[in-house]
Chains A and B, each alone.
Chain A
């Protein structure tokens, strides 16, 4: 989808802070994340494990794990309405209908003791009250939409009778059955075989083209990003450090952490050598440095990087990076 075809902003996240309040201290898992998502757009949210991608997603759904996690600051504007201010009951109305989510592991995302049809039906009846027969027809249709063969038979089956790829399709069908405007896909293909991954990504693309929903695509795989996304936001230690159109990020990554991430993608061409890794460890989210969070692993580090967090620099058309060393466009 070309930028000019994109519609209005459907989701805007401003300065989101989600912290874990533990006895040992405060873990700043999400610490000032801002981005926006337009209708029909796929935004990739990329970063190492533990950088706060999934917690960002759960903050948007307001389904943070129990045990001290709390969104303490920021705004999540869904069609201009700050859903962080909604009551739990209002939030339930919003979930599934306006913002929905696909989880990482299809093996555990479906309830083992209810049939596929039952689990789909629950999502469908929220949207419209209809007779059992009509709802079941619609459930079959929903399965067909996610390219499940022989949906009439599958509908009565239980999760353990389906393959991982099929389960993830069913999860997808459930997630979009409320016709949400925003879909969060949290590493939806990580648990699938490589061949199945590609099919699933194509399916997501097709569903998006049909419905015009915006997708926040969370992954740590830059290969998937290139296939799926229009724009990419790179996260590091709880913050988005670079954000821009996918081509620009690939061709001219600005932030050293983005460069390191891209360099660590194994290449199919050239001699087989050691895989590139990023030296060192990300900082403890309980004890973050005052300066740039990547400083301790950055090859370009200087004194000012350690002294203060860099401001967001506009490095190109809709392309920003938080780094002292980049030159503004």
Chain B
């Protein structure tokens, strides 16, 4: 197990290096932040001075070498726009994103799992197709569209819910629905396929031989087994939510790391963008590793190999 974790950590470091390299050069391709920051009547001297302050003089490769050297010591640079260390900006905003995730997962599970069970039980029937349609819609509806639609209906037309920014419980409703809808489909499809497999088992036959009601057979004996693969997908979903929050947070002006990423791109805040992407990668890598370790812990058969 220790060797396994060590190997995974090594892989993680290599992956991070690659991510950092890609994000560094991709960012540079978008242009120059100086053009956005200077007023229109700025002189050539102002421009040179600013470029020097930001460390954007010298060749791109020189900049890259400096960036990698500093990053290895944990210094991801200063945000150009926010005038604060980029990693600090990230960790200031991170909790705002994390508070959304459990609710989105809860919503996804509460709708997705029952839908998956119903679909599996009625395999090939009307309800299965209806649930499949819901799943396709959930995946196909882009969150920028769903988010705007929800704002239009519930904030603009009905005036029931706030259209954005953080605040009381009512502020959570629309962002959570927007994030959770994508998960409904995922949970539904995994539950459905796991249920179909479990329902063929001999122990399900034995449960019926005992004379148990169909409800107990399905919702107790089958579902409990089908939940094992469902739960292992948590890691993937949390990762998806962290990266997928960019659009939702932007639509709802939610001050989380998703919106921070968006801002970093828009303002060509290279250090911030690099920091955000690298830290997100670390976060997702740790979650995946954590889930794998947890899975090994839960399933003794995996622990032994």
Partners in one complex: yes
Could you list which residues of chain A lie within 8 angstroms of chain B, going by C-beta atoms?
A: 61, 63, 92-97, 100-101, 103-105, 108-114, 122-123, 126, 160, 171, 174-175, 178
B64 located at the interface, meaning its Cβ lies under 8 Å from any Cβ of chain A in the complex? no
* A171 adjacent to B206 (CB under 8 Å): yes
Contact A103 to B213, CB < 8 A, known contacts A113-B224, A114-B224:
no
B209 located at the interface, meaning its Cβ lies under 8 Å from any Cβ of chain A in the complex? yes
Residues of chain B with a CB closer than 8 A to A96's CB: 209-211
* B210 adjacent to A174 (CB under 8 Å): yes
B43 located at the interface, meaning its Cβ lies under 8 Å from any Cβ of chain A in the complex? no
- Kindly list 10 other residue pairs between chains A and B, CB separation below 8 angstroms, not including A92-B211, A103-B202: A61-B208, A63-B208, A63-B209, A95-B208, A100-B209, A100-B210, A108-B201, A109-B203, A109-B206, A111-B221
What 1/0 mask marks residues of chain B from 169 to 213 whose CB sits below 8 Å from any chain A CB?
A: 000000000000000000000000000000001110111111111
**Distance (whole angstroms) from the CB of B217 to the closest CB of chain A:** 10
Residues of chain B with a CB closer than 8 A to A122's CB: 207, 210, 212, 216
**Distance (whole angstroms) from the CB of B297 to the closest CB of chain A:** 16
* B206 adjacent to A94 (CB under 8 Å): no
**Distance (whole angstroms) from the CB of A189 to the closest CB of chain B:** 16
> Which residue in B203, B212, B224, B300 is a CB contact (below 8 Å) of A110?
B203
9 closest A-B pairs (Cβ-Cβ)?
A: A96-B211, A95-B211, A108-B202, A111-B203, A123-B210, A96-B210, A109-B202, A101-B209, A113-B224
Complex Cα distance, B208 from A123, in Å, reads 10
Minimal Cβ-Cβ distance residue in A for B198: A111
Minimal Cβ-Cβ distance residue in A for B200: A65
Complex Cα distance, B203 from A111, in Å, reads 5
**Distance (whole angstroms) from the CB of B71 to the closest CB of chain A:** 45
* A111 adjacent to B213 (CB under 8 Å): no
* B210 adjacent to A61 (CB under 8 Å): no
Residues of chain A with a CB closer than 8 A to B212's CB: 92, 122, 126
Complex Cα distance, B208 from A178, in Å, reads 13
A-B contact pairs, 9 of them (CB 8 A): A93-B211, A95-B209, A103-B205, A103-B209, A108-B203, A110-B206, A112-B225, A126-B210, A126-B212
Residues of chain B with a CB closer than 8 A to A126's CB: 210-212
> Which residue in B202, B221, B224, B225 is a CB contact (below 8 Å) of A105?
B202
* A178 adjacent to B201 (CB under 8 Å): no
Per the CB 8 Å criterion, the residue count for chain B at the interface is 18
Complex Cα distance, B210 from A111, in Å, reads 13
> Which of A104, A109, A171 has the most chain B CB atoms inside 10 A of its CB?
A109
Minimal Cβ-Cβ distance residue in B for A113: B224
Residues of chain A with a CB closer than 8 A to B206's CB: 103, 109-111, 171, 174-175
* A113 adjacent to B211 (CB under 8 Å): no
Minimal Cβ-Cβ distance residue in A for B204: A111
**Distance (whole angstroms) from the CB of B141 to the closest CB of chain A:** 33
> Which of B201, B205, B211, B224 has the most chain A CB atoms inside 10 A of its CB?
B211
* A97 adjacent to B211 (CB under 8 Å): yes
Residues of chain B with a CB closer than 8 A to A93's CB: 211
**Distance (whole angstroms) from the CB of B21 to the closest CB of chain A:** 45
Residues of chain A with a CB closer than 8 A to B221's CB: 111, 114
Complex Cα distance, B201 from A294, in Å, reads 34
Complex Cα distance, B211 from A178, in Å, reads 9
Minimal Cβ-Cβ distance residue in B for A104: B202
**Distance (whole angstroms) from the CB of A102 to the closest CB of chain B:** 9
Complex Cα distance, B226 from A296, in Å, reads 47
Complex Cα distance, B211 from A92, in Å, reads 5
* B205 adjacent to A63 (CB under 8 Å): yes
**Distance (whole angstroms) from the CB of A89 to the closest CB of chain B:** 9
Minimal Cβ-Cβ distance residue in A for B207: A111
* B210 adjacent to A178 (CB under 8 Å): yes
Complex Cα distance, B201 from A105, in Å, reads 11
Complex Cα distance, B203 from A288, in Å, reads 34
Residues of chain A with a CB closer than 8 A to B202's CB: 103-105, 108-109
What 1/0 mask marks residues of chain B from 216 to 234 whose CB sits below 8 Å from any chain A CB?
A: 1000010011001000000
**Distance (whole angstroms) from the CB of A312 to the closest CB of chain B:** 31
Residues of chain A with a CB closer than 8 A to B210's CB: 95-96, 100, 122-123, 126, 174, 178
Residues of chain B with a CB closer than 8 A to A97's CB: 211
**Distance (whole angstroms) from the CB of B291 to the closest CB of chain A:** 19
